[in-house]
Structure 1
Amino acid sequence: MMMNIGCWNVRGSNLRPKQEEIKNVIRSNNLSLFAILESQLRFNKLQTTCNNVFGNWMWISNQDVSPKGTRIIIGWDPDELVVMPLDVNSQVMHCQILFIKDNKKIFCSFIYACNYYMDRRILWDSLVKHFYSVNNSPWLILGDFNVTKELIDSSAGNSRISKGMVEFNDCMNHIEVQDINRSGLHYTWNQRPNGLNGVLKKLDRVLGNFKFIEDYPDL
């Protein structure tokens, strides 16, 4: 089974050039589902922008729980997939995805976490709650967690594990997920450099539970 799923923290999708970039990512990677993170779209621009980016795809968003601008938008090809939203808040959209051709289902959670560690506790609680609904089904979690997992995930050479890192790792251990095999650059986020003081971090991750890794070992 081909699993062509992607997401990107676009840091705003109001401008047409960024929308064209998103469309190019979808086309060039032959994706059948794509999540836009940190879209920053207001309600009056959501429909027009999604129609432009996704064309005849179906899409959903967490606009109703993100009054300051849509944080997560998910678009998918209805000829390939059936996507059912199960639970949504401002930091995560939990969905069930049916792959029509293979008649296989997975749970999938798309993340755009808050910057402050205390605000992320809502996200961790949501993931733990969803863990009991997933049970022994394959579960994929991907997106921008806005926190590093290990000290090596920051180029700044930090020597102290923060409270936010501890809570993130506690959540991962509780819901029994781990990083999916990856390729490409380790760092996924850059702070705009100020002289030589720029910082690189790994904030974006793709996680899977044991059942997902067992069922899809080649990913």
Structure 2
Amino acid sequence: MLNTAFWNVRGLNRRDHQVAVRDLVSEFRLHFIALLETRVLHSNATRIQSGVLSRWRWFVDYAGPGNRTWIAWNDELIDVDILNLDTQYVHCRVHFHELYEIILITVVYGANNVSTSRELWQGLIDLADTVDNEPWLVGGDFNAVLDMSEVSGAFGDIRGAMNEFNDCILQTGLLSLPMQGERFTWHNCSLDGRSLCKRLDRLLANDVWMDRWPNMYYSCLTPCTSDHSPLVLKGDCRNLQVSLFRFDNYLALSPGFLESVHSIWHHPIVGTRMYSVTRKLKALKSVFRQKRRCKGDLAMNVKLAADFLEVAQNILQLVVLSMA
């Protein structure tokens, strides 16, 4: 099955954001990734794309008024054809090289105002009429919630927008894929106590998709460089891998270590306690990886220290012999 992820990265100009994308692709062996809100100028696009995933194909529509969505894929494994473009979505067909399998993917980046969102809802309804017995996956940042339980914190009256989103889901015949991980996909990172969290990002699929892959679900990961969580499609046992948790004791002395651990460990996770612990350990991996990079090549540093110690001991022995 296609290993894919959707993520509102909130900017891709910064080095740490680019590293986070590469780490996500590497950890989950992704074939396809949709990145939203990259904030990259057209003149910088090629350089950044080459720096993030140099061997992958990229698509972004700088000719249109939207150009907020980037799509990247491993063209050694799949082909991607863009079928429809809109300011709030990109609709494409994905074909697997080794398997005679074709799926449809719509990457969504919804507007944050009600009137413009209506254009997205109607666009998805129109797309549903063009889908003919093909598996269809719709995912991304919808900038809307389906019910009041998907909001935590102070907010205004969103019932009208919520009803319109639900009506769109009903008319398209889309179904919510099961989700594990973070309860909310976006938080406002407030430091003044006015915390606001929402489930703005999600994956939906049609009944053909559900019939073909009934065990498919997606994981809402702990946010790192963005205020949105990455969404990673899962559920195909052929792609499951065992990954050991590694911790180097010296990392505990790094600046900001305890703060990072505290921040990740206090995120609410939906699922069993064991799943919650596993998910938080995975989130800590990126913290440890970054701190290891700051320390440089540890093996080389140990070798240099050992060489220095050997030289120092030889010099000390010569000094002792000369004084005898």
State the TM-score bracket (shorter-chain normalisation): over 0.9
C-alpha displacement at 1:125, in angstroms? 1.6
Q: What number of residue pairs does the alignment pair up?
A: 216
Indicate conservation of the 8 Å contact 1:151/1:158, yes or no: no
1:114 matched to 2:111: yes
Q: CA RMSD in A?
A: 1.5
2:26 matched residue in structure 1: 27
Distance in 1, Cα, partners of 2:155 & 2:10: 26
C-alpha displacement at 1:29, in angstroms? 1.1
TM-score by length of structure 2 reads 0.64
What amino acid maps onto 1:41 in structure 2? V
1:60 matched to 2:68: no
1:191 matched residue in structure 2: 188
C-alpha displacement at 1:64, in angstroms? 2.0
Which one has a larger percent strand, Structure 1 or Structure 2? 1
What amino acid maps onto 2:51 in structure 1? N
Which consecutive residues of structure 1, in runs of 5 or more, have no partner in the other structure?
none
Pairing 1:34-183 to 2, within 5 Å after superposition: 34-66=33-65, 70-156=67-153, 161-183=158-180
C-alpha displacement at 1:149, in angstroms? 0.8
C-alpha distance after superposition, 1:102-121 (max 9, x if no partner): 11001110011111111111
Indicate conservation of the 8 Å contact 1:149/1:165, yes or no: yes
Distance in 2, Cα, partners of 1:51 & 1:168: 37
Distance in 1, Cα, partners of 2:70 & 2:59: 6
Distance in 1, Cα, partners of 2:140 & 2:73: 16
What amino acid maps onto 1:125 in structure 2? Q
Indicate conservation of the 8 Å contact 2:154/2:194, yes or no: no
TM-score by length of structure 1 reads 0.94
2:16 matched residue in structure 1: 17
Which of structure 1's runs of 4+ aligned residues deviate more than 4 A? 157-161
Q: Percent identity?
A: 28
1:208 matched residue in structure 2: 205
2:290 matched residue in structure 1: none
Distance in 1, Cα, partners of 2:25 & 2:62: 22
Indicate conservation of the 8 Å contact 1:151/1:159, yes or no: no
Q: Which has the larger radius of gyration?
A: 2
C-alpha distance after superposition, 1:47-70 (max 9, x if no partner): 111111121111101322236xx3
C-alpha distance after superposition, 1:14-54 (max 9, x if no partner): 11221111111111111010111111111111111111112
